[in-house]
Every structure is written in structure tokens, then in C-alpha cells.
Amino acid sequence: MSTCAVCHAEENREALVDEVFRVDGQYILVGGIPAVVCGRCGEQTFSRETAEKVRLMVHGEAKATTSIPLPVFRFAA
């Protein structure tokens, strides 16, 4: 069991997560990424191998399986 880098909890679990990345001004959603998720704060941690695989995917070495519209909101104080 590992310790969370953010809250130092030792409560974590393996899960498949979705993450949005911004690449060259375009938002890209990658689904089903294997991660370790902190049970206390929700921080997601990826292995080096997984992070490299995702990097290659979002920089054009994979084809998207589908496309979805993305609503965008601007926070105004």
C-alpha cells in the first residue's frame, strides 16, 4: 500500500478513471485509465508506463474511438 502524495493517507484503491487533457488548445478525454485513487482526497496516481501510454495517445499515436460535444462554461466572479 502506498501513501498519498497530497494528503498522506494510506487508504487507496485501484480503479479505471477518465481524465481530460488539453493538447494544443484542444480538449481530449481518455477513458478507462488504470490508476491508484486515494480514498480520502481522490488524488489519482498513474504508473510511469500508463502515463507514457496516455502521452503517446493524446499526441496522435492513437485514433479516437468516438467524439462528443463539450459544453464550456466561463467562471465569472
Are 52 and 46 a contacting pair, CB within 8 Å? no
Name the burial class of residue 45, with classes exposed (0-12), middle (13-18) and buried (19+) by CB atoms within 10 angstroms of its CB. Answer: middle
pTM for this model (two decimals): 0.84
Q: Could you list the pLDDT tens digit for every one of the 77 residues in the chain?
A: 689 999 999 999 999 999 999 999 989 999 999 999 999 999 999 999 999 999 999 998 889 999 999 898 999 98
- Edge-first strand order for the sheet with 26-38 is 12-23, 26-38, 44-45
